[in-house]
Amino acid sequence: MLIAGVLIVTAGLAITGSVAASAADKESRDRFQVDPNLRIVSSDEFNGSAGTLPSARLWNIRQGGGGWGNREKQVYTASPNNLSLDGSGNLRIVARRDGSQVTSARIDSNGKMGMSAGVLAVRAKLPEGQGIHPAIWMLGSSIDVVGYPESGEIDIFELANTWPNNSVGAIGPRTNLADKTPWKVQKAVPPSQLGDPDGYHVYWVDRTKGHIRIGIDGHEVFTVGLEDLPPQSVWVMDDPFFLVLNVAVGGDWPGAAGIGALPAEMSVDWVRLYG
């Protein structure tokens, strides 16, 4: 449904499992399929001229940094050197050295495309290297009102340093809102479910009331529900969330960038919301 110009998906979806690989090399590693009765209700295929920025209708470009998150080193910019379409249907998010700085890019769909239930899928190829931290994740749309961790966080996939070091999971608030230590239910996906580190993969989340499933290609790799929360925890995962895509560098996790780790590029083929 559309509320004040913001698309909110409220219909549930089901992932049906593996499909045969496409003949096209770019698609050859994918094993992702949704129920054929379901439809794409919003998407970005990143078609456009090389060097242009992603659509302002769907994306906010966040700028700043040099200490964000885990005391990371990157400064986020709107420069085409860090963020641009490649002219072949992909979005490039590039972390690089610019003189004495490390610059990168971070975009999100806050206020433009929100999801409270359904499936959100991102087809991307992620960079790796010491100190490199690409992330496909979500934050609660209420973050500007209630703050963090009250808004909640869903980590669809985060890669830290080199393949296969990763994390998926969910984060939320405690019953006592004065306690800013969030609850966390997280895991590392085993290498057998990650596939080729040099290829594109579909990273997805399936949200139904009281339950979250996260997957890579045709594999479900993580699930969490109300019953899995630690004591004195609040489930906020049924609220609207928005997508965040970024490449962070350095900080407490994953540590300082290694020699030769930069530039590091995340290539995003498409983002699709099913309902």
Give catalytic residue positions.
153, 158
The region that residue 245 occupies, defined by phi over 0 for left and psi between -120 and 50 for alpha, beta otherwise, is: beta
What letter represents residue 16's amino acid? T
Q: How far is CA 174 from CA 5, 142, 167, 223, 232, in A?
A: 32, 16, 21, 20, 6
| For residue 263, cis peptide bond before it (omega within 30 degrees of 0) | yes
**Integer Cα distance of 101 and 82 in angstroms:** 13
Beta-strand pair 106-108/60-62 = antiparallel
Helix, strand, coil: what percent of the chain each, to 5? 5, 45, 50
Residue found by looking up tokens 């290694």 in the block: 258
Counting every residue written for the chain, the total comes to 275
Backbone angles phi, psi at 146, to 5 degrees: -100, -15
